[in-house]
Structure 1
Amino acid sequence: MSDKLLVRRAAVLGAGVMGAQIAAHLTNAGVDTVLFDLPAKEGDPNGIANKAIAGLAKLSPAPLADKALARRITAANYDTGLALLEDCDLVIEAIAERMDWKQDLYRKIAPHVPAHAVLASNTSGLGINKLAEVLPEEMRHRFCGVHFFNPPRYMHLAELIPARSTDAAVLRGLEAFLTTTLGKGVVIAKDTPNFIGNRIGVFSMLAAMHHTTQFKLGFDTVDALTGPAIGRPKSATYRTADVVGLDTMVHVIKTMADTLPEDPWHKYFKAPKWLSGLVEKGALGAKTGAGFYTKKGKDILVLDVQAQDYRASDNSLDPEVAALLKERDPAAKFAALRASAHPQAKFLWSCFRDTFHYSAYHLKDIAETARDVDFAMRWGYGWSVGPFESWQAAGWKQVAEWIAEDIVAGDAMSSASLPDWVFDGRDAVHTSDGSYSPGRDTMVPRSSNPVYERQRFPDALLGEKASQGRTVFENEGVRMWIDQGADGASDDIAVVSFKTKMHTVNDHVLNGLQEAVRIAERDFRGLVIWQPKEPFSAGADLAGALGLLQAGDVAGFDAMVANFQRTSQAIKYSLVPVVAAVRGLALGGGCEFQMHSARTVLGLESYIGLVEAGVGLLPAGGGLKELAVRASDAAGPDGDVFAGLKTVFETVAMAKVATSAMEAKSLQLARKDDVVVFNAFELLHVAKAQARALAESGYRPPLPARAIRVAGDVGIATFKMMLVNMLEGRFISAHDYEIATRIATVLCGGEVDRHSVVDEAWLLRLEREHFVALAQMPKTQERIAHMLKTGKPLRN
């Protein structure tokens, strides 16, 4: 049997928040999807599913990569629509967390699910083997759990939970589909309550709640301690509870108490009085406007348990503890936390200790290896490092001794002993050989599923380091490198990566890129611009540009802009294909580089924009020129060029940033044939494949654009009329009007007759002239300085 899962059509059962968003993400990925729910009691029998589909456009963050995709989802109901299941290759059940309801639904759908289709339950913690009991024998080998984390478009984690009867080939096929098609990071969980992510994640929150009371800390202090200060999300502990919903938190805690009666930590599986009290009052968190936090005007207030009222929130850490947390050496940091008498430090040590203790004690039961636990916490809960990585970095043996001492002293939450394998002489659970598996009592390497061959640089755990390849060329701005096989053979596609902070573009990057193109033309078949970490590029180095302006070096500033344009043109007219591999932010110059590449490979979460207007400038790295060229090409010799400029003018003048790769295409910042990749770790693989395919097909750069038809003075006048109305209505400032008029002037080819023919050099000169003129204006320099200081645009 082939391991490949071929999914032409999928069904999602249950149009609640989670089911509808899973359907949305399947549709994002190009899977024809049917969304089922109960029949409506009146009107259209598909009314419940249709309402859920309509609601997708209103959710934030957006589940759909393009709102227009909502029309592609088919609505159905369980009474009249079950025949639609007969064409489905994958069925995901996502109804409420009730064993009896799920089993009743399985009995109902079983006759309609095709013999080849995979059935998966998106349960967050119910028993997969128990669910499978009602399925016909011939279906059981194609059933498993697949737990998406919310929101499913954005959360990288998907837990795969096999039942005893699940066929290994089915599991491998589904893992590959989740990884490449839906872009997920998959961990294999054992069939235990709450699986891996929620088992460890909810326990860590319960531990924090227990120690909040023990050390008499405020909820806001705990959030300051358990957020970015220790590599966790900003929402930390209590803000997370408010967002999840305090009633949901109480339900999850009760589920742990009901399903884990033998757990040595069972006595802690109950909601603290103050949490139950909030729920009884109807203060359920963000959805009711009050929970641990509430908002009064612009002020955030936090609940004070003693006063039984809200007070002003004070997020400050004690300076002593804050300094301690900035210690770079994890071993020194943990030693200081344990030694400190400060309640905030004691709180943190206690939380780490009890989470390490719990994770080690249950590892054998919940997961195959320590790797699955660490990735589940990283990908599902947003931790920068997982619990085992933290422990290992701080010194495995020393931390194990400290935990054991605290257990004996009665300081730990449980008296349960650490498992024997913790003390078997090891220094690590993660090494270059793999991650430790208590079940197998050995280090287990990463999965051999062929899908992972597409990840040249997978998310690395502590102790793992991929080869960085052989450097071909390097300067202060970029590194150009190639992969080399074990046999010494070199790759024929080179990669160039930026070395600057946020991958901003300065003269070193510009000169480095030009040299990389020259080397690629001479020695390689293609070049990929790719960054090991997001963003792709936050744009030009504003600080350097402002320095030139404030020093009065207009000539130097003009030369920098000309160098930017030369670089973009070098990318566009390279004799070998240059492919941009974009994920995260690609702003300003970063956007322009991908516009000039032979092709762009876009990660789904690519946020692309020509945002120069926000700092009082206009795009001058060839971006406006390229948009004018595209409008001319689209209009042809007789069409209306201006029609092709309306969308892009609004996009650039309003500094719009696309919220997905799909939206980048609709805003015309990316091309229709640019490739979208859902798994960011596969981006480099796909980009190199695209470069190689272009080279194989006899790639030649485009011929120089010497006959660009422009909208001219009529186009400029038309845009100005729109702008005057906005200025008079006070929607824009006088400086906004100035910037937008200059953007219109460049896009339309300057004050020339309508449909005049110009070349690229003409448009590049216009870009440069208007950019330099704007840059010398005091209001623009104010905007640049404000952006550098605050990270936010100034509207002056």
Structure 2
Amino acid sequence: MKKVAVLGAGVMGAQIAAHLVNVKVPVILFDLPAKEGPKSGIAERAIANLKKLKPSPIGVAEDADLIQAANYEEHLKLLKQCDLVIEAIAERMDWKLDLYTKIAPFVAKHALVASNTSGLSITKLSEALPEAIQPRFCGIHFFNPPRYMPLVELIATPTTEPQVLDQLEAFVTSGLGKGVVRAKDTPNFIANRIGIAGMLSTMKEVENFGLTYDVVDDLTGKKLGRASSGTFRTADVVGLDTMAHVIKTLQDNLSLETDPFYGSFGTPPVLAKLIELGRLGQKTKAGFFKKVGRDILQFELDSEDYVPAGGKADEVYARMLKKPVAERLRLLRNAEGAPGQFLWAILRNSFHYAALHLATIAESARDVDQAMRWGFGMKQGPFELWQEAGWLEVAQMIQEDIDAGKALCKAPLPKWVFEGPVAEAGGVHTAQGSWSPALQKFVARRVLPVYERQLFPEKLLGEDNLPDWKTAGTTVFESKALRTWTLDGEILIASIKNKMHAISPEVMEGLMEAVDTAESDFQGMVIWSGDAPFSVGADLEATMPAFVVGGADAIDSIESELQNLMLRIRYAQVPVVAAIHGMALGGGCELAVYSARRVAHMESYIGLVEVGVGLVPGAGGLTYIARRAAENMASSTGKDVLPFLTEGFTAAAMAKVGTSAIESRKLGYLLDSDLIVPHKDEVLFTAINEARSMAAGGWRPPLQRPFPVAGRSGLATIKAQLVNMRDGGFISAYDFKIAAMIAEVVCGGEVDAGSLVNEEYLLKLERKVFCHLIGQPKTHERILGMLNTGKPVRN
């Protein structure tokens, strides 16, 4: 897919275009010709608006300008350049059909055409296209926001050629970094069909049990293994008008005969009232919830006004939800309080609904569970949760409630739930595959070349045939903190096992040993720890006892060992590649920048954040900033280091974290030679190949050489700016102290501008400043605050 056209510059179209730019795909964004001003003004304004959105749909704001604006009146001939055309206009069948008639003569003979619709019939849409295009047409349903939501549903029509879906699945998976589910052409496909029915069920049960929105969100968020926004906050984020449209699709295209839950598909009165009042959620800054100053308010239907929110359910229900799943469901079902009964009811309804419709909406149960994980942020899909709790026992509980009239519909569970292969296997997911009621067998995962890049794909409960990175390959050495292993005998993999992959003394020792082993027995080494994050840095809980017992000398010793590790990695005789997914913070960032190469997932968040705990980067982060400034100056015509130092200093002093791998490259934590990978499950594959390629290319470590620093004049300039910030109230006095110490290190201390220093000199300055700060009471306050709350204390 060398070039893509997106038709429609609305919310979804513009953000799909933005994500295409994120992954370096040239894109043309079309919309109607503007009635006034430039003909492509509508698309141009949508592109400009991308820079203002939060969370940002684009890696760095200025990349929005790489999207080419176009209009249907002047530029349809540009479609001939495109390999893929994605239609993403408003959910109006008549408008879409009219547009297809206009574009058909201009679509390239080889190009694929896809409609980003959340529920309209793909087959009906295809009928408006010429017969020559119909085999290359399908549905492609991105979830909002497209950059962050992993799910993309692909929907074939009866005339779609199978290789078209295979080609598109490969591009969407590897090129865009998404999880692909193939859905049948039924109303709202899979995720929205299950998810919106679940939200309607939840709203129905809220009325039945008389709970408030804040309590419901508290119960149906992370505590339940779902998105932290819960139910009503999620509706606000999605947009209440969007939700109402998806509900109407169910209402218009289903009936009691085709969906036994149809009686629950009425638009909830509170939703209708909010839409009537123009309170559409986050986009209008008021929906089920509204923020006034620092206060969160919730809508009250009776008064049609907002009242204080912030309520939480009794802690007893949180304790229930932490129990093993089988015990959890029994406790909720037998609970005396309304919150417990409510939770059982919505879980029972989700199991019931998914079972009734599996045969008609999806090929197998895998598609349903993956769709709910990727599209609705669930830790487990409904079938996984049901299976883990005990398939037949839970099925019996559901059926008893149906028979007793407690369920939302009277339709019994399908026979396959109680009889045959599923009952015998104890669930729908097995090593052989996932259950397909339509095919009456367990269906294995699709085998496409693109999935060979996913060495350890995200697996579902019961898929015991898929490899587990924690035990895969050949173990070379393993401790409680670190495992070194190999898949091919050529590249050594080092995986940190600590919580959040924190760098403890045991990890340092293990990584030192890993480099020795890689140099003697392997061609290269990859640091990859499986699940995100890459590493949140030094293990503070392990470090503080050392300070209490041994004081600053003990910390100096630990920091010295950590710095030696970074230098050992940088100057290793084999290439060391950091494979980054998720956060690489503090020492994790330093581990990455001292590696020979970095392979980072697009959604990687990299930065030196030690200021947040009252410290400075102490494992070589500041030395790296100073060295990179000198290297950048050397490749330019400039002779003053300071201009090249400013951005790195600011990032460290403000604990700035790249909000994408693209921004991390701009901050200097990733280099132009580093690779950014769209799909998280392809990072290890790419990193191993990169290490192998570097070794095959005769890679050698850099030579140690001195480099110039900004010296006392640069230090004085930075301090003057810091004084203005402190006196203006932008930073605290302690922030000023820490930032001044950072400046002292990156400028090389009290030396002349341009003086040549080596890494060991700057590392010694780092340790001195770090050890001073760790003894300060205000630093202790910041460390304890972070350990207790996970949030920085600005004292």
TM tier relative to shorter chain = over 0.9
Is 2:133 the counterpart of 1:139? yes
> Contact 2:217/2:230 (CA < 8 Å) preserved in 1?
yes
Contact between 2:373 and 2:379, CA under 8 Å: does it hold in 1? yes
2:264 aligns with: 268
Determine if contact 1:223/1:315 at 8 Å carries over to the other structure. no
Q: 2:579 aligns with which of 578, 581, 598?
A: 581
Q: 1:145 to 1:508 in 2, by over 3 A?
A: same
Residues 82-161 of structure 1 mapped to structure 2, 5 A cutoff = 82-161=76-155
Q: CA RMSD in A?
A: 1.6
| Equivalent residue, structure 2, for 1:335 | 330
Paired residue type of 1:571: I
Mapped partners of 2:273, 2:8: distance in 1: 32
Letter in 2 for 1:273: P
1:163 aligned partner: 157
What is the deviation of 1:309? 4.6
Distance (Å, rounded) in 1 between the aligned partners of 2:294 and 2:757: 53
Instruction: State the AA in 2 paired with 1:770.
Output: V
Is the CA contact 1:561–1:620 (under 8 Å) kept in the aligned structure 2? yes
Of residues 227, 235, 250, the one that matches 2:221 is 227
Residue 784 of structure 1: how far off its partner (Å): 1.8
Q: CA deviation at 1:314?
A: 4.5
- Post-superposition Cα deviations, 1:753-777, rounded to whole Å, max 9, x if no partner, equal 2211122211111111121122222
Contact 1:546 1:784 in 2 (8 A): no
- What residue number does 2:744 align with? 745
What amino acid does structure 2 have at the position aligned with 1:481? W
Relative to structure 1, the CA distance from residue 735 to residue 99 in structure 2 (aligned partners, 3 Å threshold; closer, same or farther) is: same
Unaligned runs of 5+ in 1: 1-6, 484-489
Distance 1:251 1:671 in 2: 45
Asked if 1:57 is matched to 2:51, the reply is yes
CA distance in 2: counterparts of 1:136 and 1:783, whole angstroms: 65
2:395 corresponds in structure 1 to 400
- The secondary structure found in structure 1 opposite 2:378 is coil
Q: 1:86-113 CA deviation, whole Å, 9 max, x = no partner?
A: 1000100000001111011000000000
Extract unaligned runs of 5+ from structure 2.
none
- 1:557-636 pair list within 5 angstroms: 557-636=555-634
Note the alpha carbon deviations across 1:719-773, whole angstroms, 9 max, x for none: 1222222222222222222212221121122211221112221111111112112
Query: In 2, are the aligned partners of 1:546 and 1:781 still within 8 Å (CA)?
Result: no
**Match among 307, 330, 354 for residue 311 of structure 1:** 307
Write the distance in 2 (CA, Å) between the matches of 1:635 and 1:16: 43
Distance in 2 between residues matched to 1:88 and 1:289, nearest whole Å: 38
Query: Does structure 2 conserve the Cα–Cα contact (< 8 Å) formed by 1:141 and 1:165?
Result: yes
Moved more, 379-388 or 709-718: 709-718
Distance 2:38 2:286 in 1: 37
Other structure's SS at 1:645 match:
helix
> What percent identity do the matched residue pairs reach?
53
- AA aligned to 1:343 is A
Alignment of 1:686-697 (within 5 A): 686-697=686-697
Distance 1:413 1:794 in 2: 48
Q: In the superposition, relative to structure 1, how do residues 307 and 85 fare at CA in structure 2: closer, same or farther (>3 Å)?
A: closer
Deviates more, 1:175-184 or 1:609-618: 609-618
Equivalent residue, structure 1, for 2:511: 513
Aligned partners of 2:752, 2:580: CA distance in 1, in Å?
38
Distance 2:644 2:288 in 1: 51
Which of 382, 386, 401 is residue 387 of structure 1 equivalent to?
382
Higher alpha-carbon deviation: 95-104 or 234-243: 234-243
* 2:552–2:774 Cα contact (<8 Å) kept: no
The C-alpha deviation readout for 1:182-234, integer Å capped at 9, x for no partner, is 00000000000100000000000111111111222222222222111110112
Deviation string for 1:71-130 (max 9, x for gaps)? 111000000010110100010000000111101100000000000000000000000110
Aligned to 1:472: 476
Q: 2:7 and 2:606 mapped to 1: Cα distance? A: 34
Q: Hey, what's the Cα distance between the residues in 2 that align with 1:314 and 1:727?
A: 35
Equivalent pair of 1:578/1:599 in contact (CA under 8 Å): yes
SS in 1 for 2:584: strand
Which residue of structure 2 aligns with residue 675 of structure 1? 675
Confirm whether residue 759 of structure 1 aligns to residue 755 of structure 2: no
Look up the SS of the partner of 2:767 in the other structure: helix
Mapped partners of 1:741, 1:606: distance in 2: 29
- Alignment partner of 1:290 is 2:290: no
Question: What residue in structure 2 maps to residue 236 of structure 1?
Answer: 230
2:72 match: 78
Contact map agreement 1:8 1:31 (CA 8 A) in 2: yes
Whole-angstrom CA distance in 1 between matches of 2:333 and 2:480: 42
Residues 572, 598 of structure 1: 8 Å contact kept: yes
Query: Deviation digits for residues 502-533 of structure 1, max 9, x if unmatched?
Result: 11111111111111111111111111111211
* 8 Å contact kept, 1:156–1:185: yes
Shift of 1:663: 0.6
Give the match's secondary structure for 1:412: coil
Return the offset for 1:491: 3.0
1:25 corresponds in structure 2 to 19
Match for 1:741: what amino acid?
A
- The one-letter amino acid of 2:433's match is G
Shift of 1:438: 1.2
Q: Which amino acid aligns with 2:587?
A: G
Distance 1:16 1:767 in 2: 50
Residue matched to 2:715? 716
Following superposition, the deviation at residue 338 of structure 1 comes to 1.9
Asked if structure 2 preserves the Cα contact closer than 8 Å seen for 1:218 and 1:304, the reply is no
Q: Does 1:422 align with 2:426?
A: no
Matched position secondary structure for 1:553: helix
Measure, in 1, the Cα distance between the counterparts of 2:675 and 2:235.
38
| Counterpart code for 1:666 | K
> Scaled by the length of structure 1, what TM-score is found?
0.96
- Which amino acid in structure 1 is aligned with residue 772 of structure 2? A
What is the one-letter code of the residue matched to 2:167? Answer: G
Please give the alpha-carbon distance, in whole angstroms, between the structure 1 residues aligned to 2:46 and 2:304: 39
Aligned with 1:58: secondary structure? coil
Q: The residue matched to 1:43 in structure 2 has which SS?
A: coil
Structure 1 position 788 matched with structure 2 position 782: no
Q: Which amino acid aligns with 2:759?
A: E
Compare 236-245 and 348-357 and name the one that shifted more.
Answer: 236-245
1:251, 1:169 → 2: CA distance? 32
Cα distance, 1:582 vs structure 2? 0.7
Query: Who is 1:449 aligned against?
Result: 448
Q: Is the 8 A contact 2:223 2:321 kept in 1?
A: yes
Instruction: Name the CA distance, whole Å, in 2 between partners of 1:590 and 1:514.
Output: 15
Residue aligning to 1:544? 542
Instruction: Give me the whole-angstrom Cα distance separating, in 2, the residues matched to 1:587 and 1:594.
Output: 9
2:367 equivalent in structure 1: 372
Q: Are 1:11 and 2:5 matched, yes or no?
A: yes
* Residue in structure 1 matched with residue 177 of structure 2 by the alignment: 183
- 1:355 corresponds in structure 2 to 350
Q: Secondary structure at the match of 2:438?
A: coil
Are residue 503 (structure 1) and residue 501 (structure 2) matched?
A: yes
Match of 2:521 in 1: 523
Using the alignment, how far apart are the partners of 1:50 and 1:509 within structure 2?
51
Query: CA offset at residue 412 of structure 1?
Result: 1.4
Residue 201 (structure 2) pairs with residue 197 (structure 1): no
CA distance in 1, matches of 2:593, 2:98: 53
CA deviations 1:5-43 (Å, max 9, x no partner) are xx1111000000100000000111111100000000011
Cα distance in structure 1, aligned partners of 2:2 and 2:286: 44
Q: Secondary structure at the match of 1:137?
A: coil
How far apart in 2 are the matches of 1:297 and 1:601?
41
- C-alpha deviation, 1:264, in angstroms: 1.3
Q: TM-score, normalised by structure 2?
A: 0.96
The amino acid of 1:86's aligned partner reads K
Deviates more, 1:752-761 or 1:247-256: 247-256
